[in-house]
Chain A
Amino acid sequence: MLERYNIVNRFKEDHLFITTKVETALNLARANSVWYLLMGLACCSIELMQTGGPRADIDRFGSLFRATPRQSDLMIVAGTVTLKMAPRLRRLYDQMADPKYVIAMGSCANCGGPFTHSYSVLKGVDKIIPVDVYLPGCPPRPEALTEALIKIQEKIKKEKYLMKDET
């Protein structure tokens, strides 16, 4: 199962030609080039930076970081979202171009985490934006974030991109 991460292995399954649906090919292309927006707010952002670093390299999967929301597909909310930051986060999410995905990284983004009883913390980022993958940890390891990215890639590969009204 784990060998599926590599396109090269799929070439060995067929003999001369690879036949696939257009949708599968397009989804494969979209999944292998997920550019993420640096939304590093607190301590989880250090782990986010380390995931782009040498030891756990997210660039192997084709993920670049972009500073602007218009050019990124994935927003990794890393850190505590305070009530002051929340409208700005929603605005940045609205500025992203479709199709877009969100990873809630760490306890604070999942449900408020250690600051659940605080008066100024948003208890979970899924109160303002739709979240695709939740990642537990305080902070999660870079390998855990890599696994979350792989889950996003699997979600993209299963999406019905071209024919949405198929019953």
Chain B
Amino acid sequence: MKAAAQYFKNIWDAVSTTAAGMRITMKYWLFEPSITVEYPDRLGKGIKAEDLAADRYRGFLGLNLSKCIGCLQCMRVCPIECIKITTERLENVRFITRFDIDQSKCMYCGLCVEACPASALVFTKRFEGACYDINELCIRHIKEAVKAAAPKSKAEGQNSENRTGRINEY
């Protein structure tokens, strides 16, 4: 007798749980709107792709050449050596002649941004970098040699603005 009762209880369980699941799906099908953000061209009025990222998002690295003092700290601290800098000295003035960052290798850990004492190296919100040739992803920030900025004193350097802020030119 118990087996028969169990049999019918099994049938009732099967039907009721299936119906409960299907009710939830029906609710999602008919009443919930879609939350897709239609990248790339239907994002909504006035919204650019970069606004999708949060404020402190770690996109590509950006360099503010007017602040860089050529101290080579970022190159030394990068664990996988994706930054290459060469500096030259001409009549007691330091010039930066090469500043290459290999974005295809970079793991966006942020050690270089923390290490920079002049807040010249920051994260930008740019994340679109797909390309056909991997050599395009090695970004050369210097086109012609730039004079390094004068280093500030230690106290002033530590009170400078937020190191993980965004800049608009890179």
Contact = CB atoms under 8 A, between A and B. Distances in A.
Interface string A92-112: 000000000001000100111
Interface of B: 34-41, 49, 52-53, 60, 79-80, 102-109, 127-134, 137
Contacts of B38: 60
A126 B107 contact: no
A57 B42 CA distance: 13
B130 A55 contact: no
A133 B131 contact: yes
Interface string A39-74: 000000000000000111100100000000000000
B41 A135 contact: no
A126 to B, nearest CB: 7
Given A136-B106, A136-B129, A141 B40 contact: no
Contact of B36 (A56, A107, A113, A150): A56
A138 interface: yes
A90 interface: no
A117 B105 CA distance: 12
A-B complex: 8 closest residue pairs judged by Cβ atoms:
A148-B130, A2-B41, A110-B104, A114-B107, A138-B107, A143-B39, A136-B129, A57-B36
A161 B133 CA distance: 22
Counting contact residues on chain A (CB < 8 A from B), the size range is: 35 or more
Contacts, number: 96
Given A2-B41, A55-B37, A147-B128, A134 B134 contact: yes
A131 B137 CA distance: 15
24 contacts: A5-B40, A54-B35, A56-B36, A107-B104, A110-B105, A111-B102, A111-B134, A114-B107, A114-B109, A117-B80, A133-B132, A134-B131, A134-B132, A136-B137, A137-B129, A138-B107, A138-B108, A143-B39, A143-B49, A144-B127, A144-B128, A146-B40, A150-B40, A151-B131
Given A107-B107, A143-B39, 19 more contacts: A2-B40, A3-B41, A54-B35, A55-B37, A56-B37, A110-B104, A114-B79, A114-B80, A126-B134, A133-B132, A134-B130, A134-B132, A136-B129, A136-B130, A137-B129, A138-B107, A141-B52, A150-B40, A151-B132
A100 to B, nearest CB: 16
Contact of B129 (A111, A144, A150): A144
A150 B102 CA distance: 23
Interface of A: 2-3, 5, 54-57, 60, 103, 107, 110-114, 116-117, 126, 131-138, 140-141, 143-144, 146-148, 150-151, 155
A2 B24 CA distance: 38
Contacts of B49: 143
Nearest to A110: B104
Contacts of B36: 54-57, 60
B110 to A, nearest CB: 11
Contacts of B39: 56, 143, 146-147
Contacts of B41: 2-3, 5
